[in-house]
Amino acid sequence: MTPPKIAGLALRSLVPLPVLPRSVPAGQVVVVTGASSGIGRATAVEAARRGHHVVLAARRQEVLDEVAAECDQVGAASTTTVATDVADDGDAAALLAATQEAHGRVDAVLHCAGVVTYGRVEETGAGDFDQVLATNISGTANVARHTLRLMREQERGTLVLVGSLLGHVAVPEMTPYVVSKWGVRALARQLHIENLDLPDVHVCLVSPGSVDTPIYDSALDAAGGVNSAPPPAISPERVAGAVLAQLAWPRSQTQTQLSNYGLMLGFGLAPWAWDRVVGPAFRLVSRRT
């Protein structure tokens, strides 16, 4: 029996993907972007804990070295670090080439890199706006381009893109980030449909809601505010579990918490109420100037 649908969502999809038992054999070659902090770091450490070969990518080599030591300590089959700016297509190409050279294959690429900015559009400088789009959209496209080229040659592999609840709804004073995450969701959908001809090549989108990570501390903020994760915030380790679960059970789209669906339904079914309630509420719980 086909499950009923609510606002275009099958009822079965209202349950977030569980963190599955470790049914994926150890020793997978796993690339993690944005591995220096937050969701990326938690994902890298959890992949290492499961005995995989981890390839760590971020811009700061000194921080990558710290994460690599942590991965070695918890049981990584091997660790490799590649200083990478995903907004640079050449860097993204070099990351995949280095992984293939070191291991002969790539089993999964877990793309967690991202930048946040706050402030009204008229307050946000062109440089900050462009940086968010370059990292979050162009960077995702760069990583996907080189990943899928390799995975299509292998005829197998999993690409996981970390999106956001804000790729499904709108909030004030985060326009560049929201636009970028709507773009990541569209890109993931396009990549999914373009690769359906290879049943063992998977493109997955994992969309966290609020996550308690250092991304708020390092946000670009035109308004000079103090930002925090709005409730209900979850840990980056929980998101890492959902990301790694795609290796065992790949799905085209996954939400990390049930509250995401309530917010998405509210945004879709009552936009007039959303616009009047969410703006003031968002400023109250996550923005202090």
Q: Domain for residue 2, yes or no? A: no
User: Letter for the amino acid at 146?
Assistant: H
Q: What is the pLDDT of residues 177-235, one digit of tens each?
A: 999 999 999 999 999 999 999 999 999 999 998 887 665 554 445 445 545 556 567 88
Q: Which pLDDT tens digit goes with each residue over 44-101? A: 999 999 999 999 999 999 999 999 999 999 999 999 999 999 999 999 999 999 999 9
pLDDT at position 14 over 70: no
- Residue at 9 is within a domain: no
Q: Please state which of the ranges 23-27, 122-126, 196-200, 260-264 shows the lowest mean pLDDT.
A: 23-27
69-73, 97-101, 147-151, 277-281: lowest mean pLDDT where? 277-281
Q: What average pLDDT does the chain have?
A: 86
Q: What is the pTM of this model?
A: 0.86
> Which domain covers residue 247, as residue numbers?
23-260+269-288
In a domain, 170, yes or no: yes
**Helix (DSSP H) and strand (DSSP E) numbers for the chain:** 9, 13
Could you tell me the pLDDT band of residue 2, with boundaries at 50, 70 and 90?
Answer: very low
Distances (CA, A) of 147 to 9, 73, 107, 142, 269: 29, 28, 10, 9, 37
pLDDT value, residue 13: 39
CB 31 within 8 Å of CB 95: yes
User: Is 10 contained in some domain?
Assistant: no
Q: In whole angstroms, what separates CA 162 from the centre of its chain?
A: 2
- Among candidates 233, 232, 256, which has minimal Cα distance to 243? 256
* pLDDT at residue 9, as a whole number: 37
- The letter for the amino acid at 287 is R
Number of folded domains in the chain? 1
Cβ pair 221, 171 in contact under 8 A: no
Overall average pLDDT of the 142-170 stretch: 97
Question: What pLDDT is attached to residue 228?
Answer: 56
| DSSP letter (8 states) at residue 77 | S
Dihedral (Cα; 54, 55, 56, 57), 10-degree rounding:
-150
Q: Is 195 inside any structural domain?
A: yes
Q: Please tell me the predicted confidence (pLDDT) of residue 108.
A: 98
Domain annotation covers residue 11: no
**Which element (helix H / strand E) includes 161?**
strand 157-162
Residue 14, in any domain of the structure: no
d(CA 152, CA 233): 37
Q: With pLDDT > 90 as the criterion, what percentage of the chain qualifies?
A: 69
Query: Letter for the amino acid at 126?
Result: A
Q: Do the beta carbons of residue 248 and residue 20 sit within 8 Å?
A: yes
Q: How far is CA 253 from the centre of its chain?
A: 12
Higher pLDDT, 273 or 111: 111
Structure tokens at 29: 């070659």
pLDDT at 215: 55
* Nearest by Cα to 69 from 52, 50, 93, 44: 44
User: For residue 203, what is the domain's CATH number?
Assistant: 3.40.50.720
In a domain, 77, yes or no: yes
